[in-house]
Amino acid sequence: MKNSILLAIATLLLASNVWAQESKPVIIDLDQAVALALENNHDLFIAKVQSDKAENSATLGNAGALPTLRATAGTNYSNQNSDLEFATGQTQNVSGAQSAGQNASLGLSQVLFAGGALQRTYSILKSASQMADVAELQQLNSTIVQTQSQYFAIVLLGETVQTAETNVAISADRYARAELKKELGGSNTTELLAAEVDLNRDKITLMDARTQLLNAKTLFKTFVGIEGSFELAPVVNDEFSAVDDLMSLINAAFENNPTLQMARISEETAIMQQKLAQSTLFPSLSAQVSYGLNQSQAEAGFLTSSQQTGLNAGVSLTYDLFGGGRSRTQRQNAALDVEIAQRQRIKTQETIQAAVINAAEVYMNARAKYELEKKSVAVAQQNFDKTKERYDMGQLSYLQLREAQLALLNAQNGKTSALFQARNAYLALWQLVQSFEL
């Protein structure tokens, strides 16, 4: 009996230990979060599949540049009443005359010349594959940026929660002191009620901060593809690089930005489409060769059976003399599409240049703002410490203490917000210039 009790206790302890290990949240750093997002993000997966699909389509066969080999076979049967009269004057009447036929052939055809249409169609398919590759790169960069932005948001929301918890602790200490003072007769009811109101307000602020943190973690978990509970490793480094050479950033954006790359590919595709439309000005030359077998049997008629086998070959030239003006309209529209694509590429380049300039300015401003907010926190902390010390000594009122407390809280939240803005501004600038190292 004693051994059974010990065994049960050991089992419970072991199960409790296993449960504790399973429920312990996983610590994920920034690199791990990005790796998980690149592996699990649905939008990135779809972009990869679209790229593979476009690559599969960019073949000479889809462009019609390879020969076509076709095998055909068939058979037929009939049962009819036949009344035949031949040129010799003979007649033949057969009721239920049966006939059957079989055929089989193997044919090879190849377009020899189509005004360059085959080569240009193949080039267009390759451009579509390049476009899909760039779209995948764009989605990859977007996934990285969104992962980092959400990661920083969660870390900074965690700091906001800690700030709110510290603020609640300060207010709770003030309330306890006011309550003790009242019991000892050294404080009035007004101060105690004011302390209670401020404490409740700070508790509500803490509840809101915790809710925001929970919601952010839920969205991040879905976006990255995390299973189970997790915690994010803090980001220790809050240093940011300066932007000294704005022209280098612009040139890097011109070279690497996927949106501009897609605009260039669209322009090249439009030019190819124009050349493809011009191929209708030329004839099409194709060659065919086939080997076939034809058999037939009949109970009525001059021939009761026949069979032909042999090789057939030929060359055909096709040229549309008039098609209602459709080809001319297509050529005109294709030329206009080239102008549109060129203007769109220029517009995209100008937009990106302006975006880089603005993003660099926002980033530098955010860095400067963050440095000022750090100084404000240091000053507000000193002010609060001195104010609390004098309040504890009875030299200042609770209103002055609360004012210093709120000033410290606002400074800390301002610092957190400025850090988040600086990191997002950095990510926005990085996304424009892509692989460029700031």
CATH code, 275: 1.20.1600.10
> Which structure tokens are listed for 72?
């055909």
Q: Has residue 302 been placed in a domain?
A: no
- For residue 13, the model assigns a pLDDT of 38
Report if residue 194 sits inside a domain: yes
Q: Which residues contact 406 (CB under 8 A, 6 or more apart)?
A: none
Residue 86 has what pLDDT?
Answer: 63
Supply the pLDDT for residue 3.
44
Tokens of 163: 């700030």
d(CA 164, CA 246): 40
Q: How many CA atoms lie within 13 A of 65 on its CB side?
A: 14
Residue 49's pLDDT is 94
Token couple for 409: 């809280």
Tokens of 39: 């592996």
The verdict on residue 55 lying in a domain is yes
Identify whether 312 is part of a domain. no
Question: Distance of CA 160 to CAs 31, 205, 272, 380, 406, Å?
Answer: 23, 10, 56, 16, 14
Per the structure, the complete domain to which residue 147 belongs is given by 26-68+113-283+323-433
Residue 293, beta-bridge partner list: 104, 309
How many domains is the chain built from?
Answer: 1
Residue 235 to residue 156: CA distance in whole angstroms:
9
How far, in Å, CA of 160 to CA of 130, rounded? Answer: 45
Q: Map tokens 């510290």 to a residue.
A: 166
393, 341 contact by CB (below 8 A)? no
Q: What is the pLDDT of residue 218?
A: 94
pLDDT at 17: 45
Cα–Cα distance, 375 to 378 (Å, whole number): 5
The residues, any chain, with a CB within 8 Å of residue 81's CB and separated by 6 or more, are 94, 95, 96, 97
| CA–CA gap between residue 423 and residue 421 (Å, rounded) | 5
Distance of CA 338 to the CA centre of its chain: 28
Contacts of 223 (CB under 8 A, 6+ apart): 37, 41, 146, 147, 150
pLDDT at 19: 40
Instruction: Determine what percent of the chain falls in helix, strand and coil, rounding each to the nearest 5.
Output: 65, 15, 15
Which value, in Å, is the radius of gyration of the alpha carbons in the chain?
Answer: 40
User: Does residue 54 belong to any structural domain of this protein?
Assistant: yes
pLDDT tens for each residue of the chain, 438 residues long: 444 433 333 343 344 443 444 457 889 998 999 999 999 999 999 999 999 999 999 998 888 888 988 999 988 877 766 676 666 667 767 677 677 888 888 888 988 888 888 899 899 999 999 999 999 999 999 999 999 999 999 999 999 999 999 999 998 988 888 888 777 776 667 888 888 999 999 999 999 999 999 999 999 999 998 888 889 888 767 777 777 788 988 998 999 999 999 999 999 999 999 999 998 888 898 999 989 888 877 655 555 677 788 888 889 988 888 877 888 899 999 999 999 999 999 999 999 999 999 999 999 999 999 999 999 999 999 999 999 899 888 888 888 888 999 999 999 999 989 999 999 999 999 889 875 443
Residue 364 falls in which region: left (phi positive, over 0), alpha (psi -120 to 50) or beta: alpha
Using an 8 Å Cβ cutoff, are 287 and 315 in contact? yes
388 within some domain? yes
CA angle 138, 433, 337 (to 5 degrees): 60
Beta strands in 57-199 (DSSP E): 68-85, 91-113
In a domain, 317, yes or no: no
Residue that has been written with the tokens 């603020």 in this structure: 167
Residues 6+ apart with CB under 8 A from 114: 279, 282, 284, 285
Residue with tokens 């915690």: 231
**Is residue 269 domain-resident?**
yes
pLDDT of the residue at 115 = 84
Tokens for 176? 């306890």
